[in-house]
Structure 1
Amino acid sequence: MRLTRQTNYAIRILMYLAANPGRLSRLGEVAKAYQAPEPFMFKILQPLVSAGFVETVRGRGGGIRLGREASKINLREVVEVTEESFTLAECFEGGSDCPLVYSCELNGALRAALEAFLSTLGRYTIADLTKNKSYLHRTLGIETPAEAAA
């Protein structure tokens, strides 16, 4: 299975926010860190907010932050929210013209493979992906609280 660009960037947004705890981030700075267009990132942000992964704070000095602890956001949840389809083959969609569609073992094998994939993702959290915060800060240009105060 190949994840969409939307899912890839959704995970990146969550990683950025997890690497920047206790501080509101602006979507523009997140987009800049990943060299992505801000309107594209805004589109991706909406399902993350709806799912409760991200909170928005309006007004002057507002921004975005994780809606729950990074250790409580597993990758399976993110993928299930951001992927539009888990169709691995035409017969997953129904309406297939294949004469074997109702008795084919391929369908069962693909369903098992998909479940194994999602199950594996469920064992990892955003916190697991952001353990090396100093590297993330340097790479993404995130100021540490001490740098921001200076």
Structure 2
Amino acid sequence: MRITGFSDVCLRVLMRLGVAGDAGATSREVAYAIRVPYTHVTKAVARLRELGLVHTTRGRGGGLQFTDEAADATVGWLMRRLEPDPDPVACDNPAAPCPLRQACNLRTALRRAREEFLRSLDGVRIADLFDAPTSGLLVQIAAAGVMGGGETSNG
């Protein structure tokens, strides 16, 4: 299964914030650290805030923080909320509707496979994503971002 680019950005934002701890980070710092345009990060942060996984503080001295709820949430739970289309195939394409749609074994098999994929991610907590060795690399990248000014060419 393939996840959307938006889900990928959301996961990377959470991983970066997870290693930041109570210090948190700004959206620009996160964008620099995970090599994603600032505008993509702000969209991801807005959705993660809605889900209760990121706390945001505006203004001078503000930033983003990983919430306690985020640490306990699973990747499967998050993917079910981020991935918009539960259908792995485009059976409802108006330009070329599939004549097998009403009784398609392929569609059923792919739905089952998708659910198995997500069920396997139910055993992975978001906090597990930034365990060693990933945590060390994220800390290095964050330190380089602070020394480099935290700006990206994309934002």
Q: TM-score range by the shorter chain?
A: 0.7 to 0.9
Matched residue, 2:141: 139
Distance 1:39 1:97, change over 3 A: closer
1:82 aligns with 2:104: no
Matched residue, 2:24: 24
- Whether the 8 Å CA contact 1:56–1:64 is kept in 2: the answer is yes
Query: Structure 1 CA distance, aligned partners of 2:38 and 2:137?
Result: 24
Uncovered stretches (5+) of structure 2, i.e. residues with no partner: 146-155
TM-score, reference length from structure 2: 0.80
Identity of aligned residues (%): 32
The one-letter code of the counterpart of 2:29 is E
Equivalent pairs counted in the alignment come to 142
Q: Which has the higher contact order (CA 8 A, sep 6+)?
A: 2
Uncovered stretches (5+) of structure 1, i.e. residues with no partner: 144-150
Aligned CA-pair RMSD: 2.2
TM-score, reference length from structure 1: 0.82
- Whether the 8 Å CA contact 2:10–2:48 is kept in 1: the answer is yes
Distance 1:142 1:49, change over 3 A: farther
- Whether the 8 Å CA contact 1:20–1:142 is kept in 2: the answer is no
Show CA shifts across 1:58-90 (max 9, x none).
Answer: 232111101225431211222222222232112
- Whether the 8 Å CA contact 2:75–2:125 is kept in 1: the answer is yes
